[in-house]
Amino acid sequence: MDYLLNFFGGTYQITGLLGAGAVWLGLAAIGSAFTNTKGLTAGTPYYGWGLVTALYTFLGVFTGISFTWLAWFLFAVTVGCGIFLVRRHGVEILRRPVMIFALSLPLVALVAAMSASQWDEFSHWLPSARYLLVADGFPNAADPQTGASFPAYPYGWPVLVFMGSLVSGGLHENIGPLLNLFALFTFGIAMLDVLGERTGVKIDRKRSWAAIAIALLVATILNPAFVQKLVLTSYSDASTMVAVGLATILAWMFLNRLAEGQSDDDVRVLVWQLALTLVVLIAVRPANLIPFVALLIATAIAGFRSPTIPMMRLVRLLFLAALPAVLVYAVWRFYVAHELSGQEMSIRPISAWHLDLIVDVLARMGSVLARKGVYLAMMLVVLGFGIRALFRCRTSLDRLAILASGIFVAYNLFLLFTYMAVFGQNDALRAASYWRYNTHVALAGLVFAVVALSMLWDRWSPGTRTRAVFCGVAIILIVGLPFALTNKIRFDREPPKPFFRAAAAKIAPHIGSGDAYLIIDPHGSGESNVITRYHIWPSGEFLGYVSAFQGNVDRLVAESLQKRAPKFLVLYSSTDAISGLLGIKTEPDTAYLLERSNGDWEVVGQWQSADLAG
């Protein structure tokens, strides 16, 4: 029964899936209606996303439009686009989405049953989406407190969760993970289009089930950047990596058509699709400016090294591809400067940079990548081909190698800079989240790997029986692996996070508006802090927290109680000194809510882990 509960989570599983599905299919409909079928057709959800993001950014910054009304208007547009597409292409247009859903149903069911469990989900991404629902617009100088860590981050990703929540009837924590999964599926299907263009062979309908199964495997299990705790969450990392991957494909196809001397009409299709994908990239995370610039520079270098590509034509079309994203970025920076200044991460003064640590940081970065053998091997091969292509760029694969290696090198140089100039000393020395950030550019390398392996496959020329076995195994894996890897996928059920969530939900109603509270968890990492604050918002006045990594927790608690004078204490763990200071006896695996009364602390409520689990 416990195993089956991994797949069946309740009614929110269905409503969240409906919300996420409506958003992704809606974006695909808009993207299909406003772009040409001659380009990379699989990327249509991202093209629609680019249009929606631009609309929300311009109208949200320059008008007081209701985001809810704008969302329902866009859903109406989606219906119109859907009718238009069905009338043009017939119901055959729905064939591939239905096949994708059928093959991925076990995985989709698992993800739809999940709830939020990761640090940044509670500290930033879910609060940002929730704020859009509550405020019906962007935060501003009059109301900058969104409950998120960085209110000035762009809202290209939270807007999608917001729209899905409107369809679902409220904020659903499974919408973000589902959208991330759909984004990866989009990349996998895009690789089919890439291979079709490379070989000139369209996918045979008799083998289409196998082809889609292989595409889904490439995007998930065979993807070295498929990290469950990044992808199957409300984080924006997956949407970023897919945006980089799709942009790499489009830039490569764009270069190929220029090299072949194709007409402006054929090339402009890809320029428009690339432009919309870059809008998404620039509007998801602030740091995505780096892969955006890196892609443009790498594309220019690959074009410059290709003897058959006219440079003036390349520069002109690249300018057109970059312009929409630059405008969206400029508008958002204008808004941040006037309304949300200081609400994001910033570069330290040069005097505070950790330049003396550069050797240690580089060693740590190398150590992290060394433990990711498949990814490191793939990128070293890409880098080798990229260096060779700088001296002899003759083939389509050479151009792709320059693109992928250029993005990888530029982004890692940027990460080194951030460790020197943005992060604190401890985070710099441990190269905080270095692997997580590298996943953002991993799909650029995967595009090269898949194309190169497909060339080797063609040279091998396997027989019909081998192909049939290969296709059969692909279908079995994509359907069967979720059943075998259920516990790895449902990491949201790993203790103590379910306990923190259940306890925080019990605590939140007791804390009213303006009630000052302090969170104490001297044996915890701080997860209980972000989870509890997420549940309590917008009530209460948060004064701080104490966790195991702050050192000398007994002294910190004593000082906090004296200097900050909280009305409530939220206690998840304790020490003998803290228990004595508070005048209570605590039990392990128990959450306490304490209220100050006549100078003493009284227990308002206590909740044991076993009782909450029951």
Is 538 found in the same domain as 470?
A: no
Question: Half-sphere exposure of 611 toward its Cβ, with a 13 Å CA cutoff?
Answer: 9
**Residue 372 resides in a domain:** no
Residues 480 and 515 placed together within one structural domain of the fold: no
pLDDT at 483: 95
Confirm whether 212 is domain-assigned. Answer: yes
CATH number of the domain encompassing residue 569:
3.40.50
Q: Work out the number of other CB atoms within 10 angstroms of the CB of residue 243.
A: 33
What is the pLDDT at residue 205?
44
Calculate the CA 99 to chain-centre distance: 25
pLDDT at 198: 63
Q: What is the pLDDT of residue 4?
A: 87
Q: Quick one: 131 and 192 in the same domain?
A: yes
| Residue 539 resides in a domain | yes
If asked whether residues 478 and 573 sit together in one domain, one would say no
Q: Given 448, 471, 489, which residue is the final one in a domain? A: 489
Count how many domains the chain has.
Answer: 2
Q: Specify whether 131 is located in the same domain as 60.
A: yes
Residue 277 pLDDT: 98
SS (H, E, C) 524-582: CCCHHHHHHHHHHCCCCEEEEEEEHHHCCHHHHHHHHHHHHCCCEEEECCCCHHHHHHH
311: left (phi over 0), alpha (psi -120 to 50) or beta: alpha
Spatial separation of the C-alpha atoms in residues 308 and 500, rounded to whole Å: 61
Write out residues in the chain with pLDDT < 50, as ranges.
201, 203-206
pLDDT value, residue 150: 92
Say whether both 560 and 475 belong to one domain: no
SS (HEC) of 239-263: HHHHHHHHHHHHHHHHHHHHHCCCC
Q: Report if pTM > 0.85.
A: yes
In this predicted structure, what is the pLDDT of residue 197?
A: 66
Is residue 582 in some structural domain? yes
> Domain containing 519: what range?
497-613
For residues 81 and 13, state if they share a domain: yes
Whether 485 and 503 map to the same domain: the answer is no
- CA 12 to each of CA 4, 17, 385, 488, 492: distance values in angstroms, whole numbers, following the listed order: 16, 8, 48, 21, 15
For residue 591, what are the β-bridge partners?
A: 607
Is 473 in the same domain as 549?
Answer: no
* 396-421 vs 237-259: helix crossing angle, rounded to 10: 140
Alpha helices by DSSP H, listed for 136-236, are: 158-168, 175-199, 208-219, 228-231
Any domain includes 224: yes
Q: For position 465, what pLDDT does the model report?
A: 81
Please check whether residue 341 lies inside any domain of the structure: no
Q: How far apart are CA 194 and CA 197, in angstroms?
A: 5
301 closest CA partner among 445, 380, 379, 407: 407
Residue 79 domain flag:
yes
**482 and 508 co-located in one domain:** no
Residue 427 maps to a domain: no
Do residues 502 and 485 share a domain? no
The one-letter amino acid at 66? S
228 and 91 belong to one structural domain: yes
Q: What is the pLDDT of residue 438?
A: 97
